[in-house]
Amino acid sequence: MNQVDPIRDLKAIQDMYEVLREKSERDYLLFKFAIHTGVKLAELLNLHVDEVLDAEGHVKTYWVEGLATHIHIILPEQLRDELEHYIHQTRLDSQALLFQSNRTHKGLSRQQAYRIIHAAADKLGMRHIGLTTLRKTFAYHAYQSGISISIIQKYLGHQTTYETMKFIGISKQASTTTIALNLQP
C-alpha cells in the first residue's frame, strides 16, 4: 500500500476546494467536512443528515466523533452555512445520507470517495493523496495550531503519541517542546 500524506499547505487546500467545488457541491463538502473534523472514513460515508443537525434543524456548532465524546470540534461558521444550504438545496430529509451517490441515492463507496479525492489531487498535480489524507490533514493542522499531540492521539484513537506523530508526518526533531516555569515570587 502506498503511503499518503496530509495536505500541509493551505494554498493546496484552497486549490482542492476550488477543483472539487467545480465538480460538485457534494464533493467539495465531503472534503471540507472531513478535513475540518477528522471523521473516520466509515463514519463519513455513512453520515446521515440528522447527525449534523441540531433540534432546530441547523447544522451543529460542534462535531463529536465516536468514543472521543470529551473532545468537541468546532465547525467553522462558513462550513455550517454551506452544509445547511446543501441540505436544503438537495432536499435531503433527516434520515438521508449526507454524502450520497447522485445516481443511486445510496452511500458513496470507498472507491467512489477515493476517485473523487484522487481526481482532484491529480488535476492539481498533487501526489501521495488518498482517503487517509483527509484525516491526516485534520490532525496535521490541529497539531500546527497548537493542539497537544496527546489530545490528537486520543481523538484519532491511536495507542501512542509516537504513532500519531508518524501518522501526520512530524519527526521527533520537529516536535521539540520547551517549558519555562518561574515559580519564584
Predicted confidence band at 183 (pLDDT cuts at 50, 70, 90)? confident
SS3 (DSSP) at 74: strand
**Residues 39-93 pLDDT 10s:** 999 999 999 999 999 999 999 999 886 655 588 999 999 999 999 999 999 999 9
Does residue 81 or residue 103 have the better pLDDT?
A: 81
Q: Which amino acid is at 43?
A: E
Question: Which pLDDT value is given to residue 174?
Answer: 58
- The set of cell numbers assigned to 126 is 498533487
Q: How far apart are CA 113 and CA 99, in angstroms?
A: 10
Q: Residue 59 forms beta bridges with which residues?
A: 53
pTM: 0.90
Would the pLDDT of 1 be above 60?
no
**Residues 117-173 pLDDT 10s:** 999 999 999 999 999 999 999 999 999 999 999 999 999 999 999 999 999 998 765
Domain range spanning residue 76? 1-185
Question: Which pLDDT value is given to residue 70?
Answer: 84
Question: Which pLDDT value is given to residue 67?
Answer: 57
Measure the N-to-C terminal CA separation of the chain; round to a whole number of Å. Answer: 57
**Residues 3-41 pLDDT 10s:** 899 999 999 999 999 999 999 999 999 999 999 999 999
CATH number of the domain bearing residue 50: 1.10.443.10
- The set of cell numbers assigned to 61 is 456548532
Specify the number of domains making up the chain: 1
User: Could you tell me if 33 and 83 are in contact, meaning their C-beta atoms sit under 8 angstroms apart?
Assistant: yes
Would the pLDDT of 175 be above 60?
no
Question: Which pLDDT value is given to residue 64?
Answer: 81
- Average pLDDT for residues 173-180, to the nearest whole number? 63
Would the pLDDT of 178 be above 70?
no
**Residues 116-132 pLDDT 10s:** 999 999 999 999 999 99
Helices 149-156, 132-144: inter-axial angle, 10-degree rounding? 160
Q: How far apart are CA 10 and CA 146, in angstroms?
A: 16
Give the H/E segment covering residue 63.
strand 62-63
